[in-house]
Structure 1
Amino acid sequence: MNSIVANKDTSLADLDRLAQIAQDVVAQARRQGASAADAAASIDLGLAVGVRLGEVETVERTRDRAVSVTVYFGQRKGSATTADLDPRSIAQTVEHACAIARYTEPDPASGLADPALLAKTFPDLDLWHPWDITPEEAIALGVEIEAAGRAVDARIDNSDGAAVQVGASLTAYANSDGFVGTERGTHHSLSVALIAEDDAGMQRDYWYDSVRRPSDFASAESIGRKAAQRTLARLGARRLSTRQCPVLFAPEVARSLIGHFLSAVSGGALYRRASFLVDHVGQRVFPSWLQIVERPHIPRGHGSTAFDNDGVATRDSDLVRDGVLARYILGSYSARKLGLQSTGNAGGVQNILVEPGADDFAALLRRMGSGLLVTELMGQGVSLITGDYSRGASGFWVEHGEIVHPVEEITIAGNLRDMYANLVAVGSDVDPRSHILTGSLLLERMTIAGE
């Protein structure tokens, strides 16, 4: 199976085989007494190349295969997985899942998705774009990206390297209610991290691009130059004194704030009562002007899919409307735990779009006046239970709408509840390199802990 190479694309035949495997697994489980079962079969292919200072560091090909099965004996559930597509290994995996189920405690929330919610149509989302690139060509591309960055300025005298990654995945899912669904998708990325040095010391920064279709990449030169410009801009970074001030999150870090919100309204955190947004549907969380929508069917979207991990059909829907939380993020299991209906989010969210405002990045700087621009976050100091937020950060100090100097070794702190409620603006500078699509986020005030 060599589906990653465009001129030897066997992906459709491979998908048919995976679908047949998944259906056979379900049939085996039923023959062994399972009242219901589902199965997923997948193949993941990849090429990863790393270069540093013009020399090859790594070349890695991956070809991962997996079959997973979940069986139900009434409300008793058992799951097992194998990385071998051999029929004997698959048969043993089914036996193991059934053995587990016979000895587990009943769980009233267990079971397949509601058949009425299963996907019945499968639109072409334009997700399959294999990259016909050899390891030698990938190495040359990585060298080109790094060289473009190092050529910008003599102060860039070192590198953490450039990477070229090529990926393709094929997945089939089937269950005992007769559902069979297949998907194929590609993900490719280019990246480089550079190191610059002057009398004040060394600084490091990076840039990257991530696409479904190789022709959508920014040029190798532009990626290298962008990484160089970001690295040079950090030279001479200073610490700040402790203060409170407005904070502007650049798009590449702004999506982490939205990610914390998504985690807080996801089923697992909610039924465990481990979220500061428990029982918040219908309540205002953001300013009244903010809209957040889920768009699972965006062509070539990073999170696009026709059905979730339970086979439930995905659809466009509001998550936040006029600042009010419109719904939770639920798969079949978490929905039953909460007495609600699946939202088609087993396995997570699809494309989340924070509706952009009219201001571009420069206009947001002017709107902020004086404050902190955050371009990098470190650490994991976020509590979904309380909403408390504290993370290491670096970026730039801004005065009168202009960047004055780089900043490092500071901590920004607040509470997510207040941060969301006091959001001032969303920029028009949407970062397209993720399934969370947002521009810069301007917050009214946070605490900066520095010197």
Structure 2
Amino acid sequence: MSTTTVATRPAVADRNSRERLAGVVGQVLAEAKKSGATAAEAGVNISQGLSVTVRLGEVETVEHTRDKGMGVSVYFGQRTGSASSTDFSEHALRETVRAACTIAKFTAEDDCAGLADPDRLAKDIPDLDLHHPWNPGTDRAIELARAAEDAARNQDKRIANSEGGSLTTHEGLEVYGNSHGFLGTVANTRHSLSVSVIAQDESGMQRDFWYTVARASDALESPESVGRTAARRSLWRLGSRKLATRQCPVLYEAPLASSLLSHFVSAVRGTSLYRQASFLLDALGQPVFADFVRIHEQPHLKGAQGSAAFDSEGVATQPRDLIRDGILQGYVLDSYSARKLKMQTTGNAGGVHNLTIDPGKDDLAALMKRMHTGLLVTELIGFGVNTVTGDYSRGAAGFWVENGQIQYPVEEITVAGNLKDMFRRIVAVGSDVDTRGNIRSGSILIENMTVAGS
């Protein structure tokens, strides 16, 4: 897509902005020290963006955003208090710190509270190529959103209606600092284009969508490609049937497969573990997935959605395996949960960073042939997942596959199992890796699940 810009919106991440936000952080930390805090941390952010939506060729919404915020946490020994503000004036910053200090004086002591250990903080901060400002201007943004929707609507006469085409641009600047002397700055951008349309024939109506997202505008799919894909996905679902309840293999399409990994992350997150609210309690060093599975973080990938040189506590990120040969190698911890578990932070305050399950050699078509007969899931509905027990039950839609070929679309079904069994029964991971999010996965084939229908 075009990277043409117009000089109607100044960048938020120029040198002056970086220096100004660093100054705000410095002022807040100095004020906290002056107020008697033994330690403090502060984060400041500013952002701006443009979002337009076109429906049936007409402009529905145009939204320009410009936001800012500051958050501070102060520590008086093991007591902590936090406060936030959107006002960066000196008076407002002083009052915000004062509010945090007042809160801290009334909280109970917590032996695990405090800043990240100084030796874990990032010292070298590489450029991860996350900042690519794009200002297409309102007219151009509308033109691109309309082109995407038009491509979908013109694909087939059975595209009967549209929920719209949308284009969004975002640019942000964040500065974090603490009283250990750490100061880190991150400038980032995120641009996206999406289309959702409704197909209709004598069997009824079906809706589906497609989207593209990237740090840089020239890495986005073309509007025509996004629109055509959204239309095809809607058309494929026409004539959907119900299935009788059965046991069969289930193949999760790549955009949905990442949800399985998100459930895994929830189960090995520190907060779940120290609260004993995880089906993977005491699983460290134990087989959790099929023995060929490797799941790892890649925090330093250039331009990726989940890349970060440090986490939200300033702790340096590093590549690491969570699962190797199917065995659980580590948890997802920030400093607080690590202390609760008598472990070390893994640099995951704020979440994981480009969590990746290593792909196999087969694309989606090859995985269907390998499955032979079973269910291809392309949509999940609801959230029937219990991370305490691992019980899993979600509404679904997709396609019934026989002899490795799609036979017909299906809907109004439920896929169910237990995540412990599902992880161990993964047969293959596809080469069709979806890189649009922070969790990166190809399609995942599970040996056997319950499919509940009519």
Task: Identify if the C-alpha distance between structure 1 residues 3 and 171 changes in structure 2 by more than 3 Å, giving closer, same or farther.
Answer: farther
Structure 1 residue aligned with 2:175:
172
Distance 1:236 1:15 in 2: 55
Identity of aligned residues (%): 54
Distance 1:410 1:312 in 2: 44
Q: Is the 8 A contact 1:7 1:132 kept in 2?
A: no
Distance 1:4 1:413 in 2: 53
Among residues 120, 137, 140, which one is paired with 1:134 in the alignment? 137
Distance 2:218 2:327 in 1: 39
CA RMSD of aligned residues (A): 1.4
Task: Identify if the C-alpha distance between structure 1 residues 120 and 221 changes in structure 2 by more than 3 Å, giving closer, same or farther.
Answer: same
> Counterparts in 2 of 1:114-133, with a 5 A limit?
114-133=117-136
Among residues 351, 355, 362, which one is paired with 1:359 in the alignment? 362
Q: Is the 8 A contact 2:13 2:172 kept in 1?
A: no
Question: Where does structure 2 lack aligned partners over 5 or more consecutive residues?
Answer: none
Q: Is the 8 A contact 1:246 1:368 kept in 2?
A: yes
Q: Is the 8 A contact 1:50 1:161 kept in 2?
A: yes
Distance 1:185 1:387 in 2: 36
Among residues 56, 61, 65, which one is paired with 1:62 in the alignment? 65
**1:34-74 alpha-carbon deviations (Å, 9 max, x no partner):** 00000000012111101100000000111111000000000
Kindly indicate whether residue 209 of structure 2 is the aligned counterpart of residue 198 of structure 1: no
> 1:221 corresponds to which letter in structure 2?
E
Q: Secondary structure at the match of 1:157?
A: strand
Distance 1:173 1:243 in 2: 52
Distance 2:15 2:364 in 1: 43
Deviation, 1:11, is 2.5
**1:155-175 alpha-carbon deviations (Å, 9 max, x no partner):** 101100011000011000010
> Counterparts in 2 of 1:277-288, with a 5 A limit?
277-288=280-291
Structure 2 residue aligned with 1:380:
383
Q: Secondary structure at the match of 1:359?
A: coil
Name which of structure 1's ranges 84-93 and 259-268 shifts more when overlaid on structure 2. 84-93
Structure 2 residue aligned with 1:292:
295
> Counterparts in 2 of 1:306-325, with a 5 A limit?
306-325=309-328
Distance 1:12 1:447 in 2: 56
Structure 2 residue aligned with 1:270:
273
Task: Identify if the C-alpha distance between structure 1 residues 8 and 435 changes in structure 2 by more than 3 Å, giving closer, same or farther.
Answer: closer
Structure 2 residue aligned with 1:36:
39
Q: Secondary structure at the match of 2:280?
A: coil
**1:285-325 alpha-carbon deviations (Å, 9 max, x no partner):** 00111101101000001011110011000011111111001
Deviation, 1:225, is 0.3
Distance 2:86 2:250 in 1: 46
Distance 1:411 1:398 in 2: 16
> 2:124 corresponds to which letter in structure 1?
T
Q: Is the 8 A contact 1:284 1:324 kept in 2?
A: yes
Q: Is the 8 A contact 2:12 2:48 kept in 1?
A: no
Q: Secondary structure at the match of 2:409?
A: strand
Deviation, 1:5, is 6.7
Structure 2 residue aligned with 1:13:
16
Distance 2:312 2:112 in 1: 16
Structure 2 residue aligned with 1:411:
414
Distance 2:6 2:250 in 1: 46
Distance 1:367 1:413 in 2: 21
Question: Where does structure 1 lack aligned partners over 5 or more consecutive residues?
Answer: none
Deviation, 1:12, is 2.8
Q: Is the 8 A contact 2:12 2:172 kept in 1?
A: no
> Counterparts in 2 of 1:36-435, with a 5 A limit?
36-435=39-438
Deviating 4+ runs (over 4 angstroms): 2-10
Deviation, 1:441, is 0.2
**1:224-268 alpha-carbon deviations (Å, 9 max, x no partner):** 000000000000000100001000000000000011001110111
> 1:115 corresponds to which letter in structure 2?
P
